[in-house]
Amino acid sequence: MSKFLIIGLGNIGLEFENTRHNIGFDVATAFVQKHGGNFIPGRFVNVSEIKWKGKTFIVIKPTTYMNLSGKAFSFWVQKEKIKLENSLTIVDDLALPLSKLRLRASGSDAGHNGLKDIQFFMNTDAYPKLRFGIGNHFPKGRQADFVLSKWLPSELPIIEKKIEASIKVIEDFSTIGISATMNWVNKMEFL
């Protein structure tokens, strides 16, 4: 049975719920709910184990705060003996418009502190990432406020479509592989 680690990045705490920066948590939660699972406390994370189509998904949401995500990632990859190419990190991305998702087999942290910490712990950027575009409509110097802000009501229909598509990305990633999944998701425009 092949095993996958799905890591949704975000921050714990009620004040961070439904914010742009926590979209990784939201996607992980939606995937687990779709497959009838629930999260329980684990080391450095809330964790759920999902079995689907002969595959096991260890789905984690770090409880270490975003900037310290590497410790959780490293611990669970090693504990579950999961190859890096069978991990998928879901993260918000300021550089992508709200209408886009981008799947890559590897790539830089692009200034994202959660990815930076994972890269530091793993000593590589060669692990798959699903980047969830959050847009970048903020005044100069207000980036932190923007990423920690809640979605606008007008954005929610797009966010819901993208969360649904992200669940399909996780499923396709595990069944048809990253290349075939990239072929459809990276071309999509969510309006």
Please state, in angstroms and rounded to a whole number, the distance separating the CA atoms of residues 179 and 66. Answer: 28
Do the beta carbons of residue 165 and residue 190 sit within 8 Å?
A: yes
What is the distance between the alpha carbons of residues 41 and 62, in angstroms, rounded to a whole number?
10
Instruction: State the amino acid at position 25 in one-letter form.
Output: F
Task: Please calculate the CA angle 41-147-171 and round it to the nearest 5 degrees.
Answer: 55
Q: Which residues are catalytic?
A: 21
**Rounded distance between C-alpha atoms, residue 180 and residue 178, angstroms:** 6
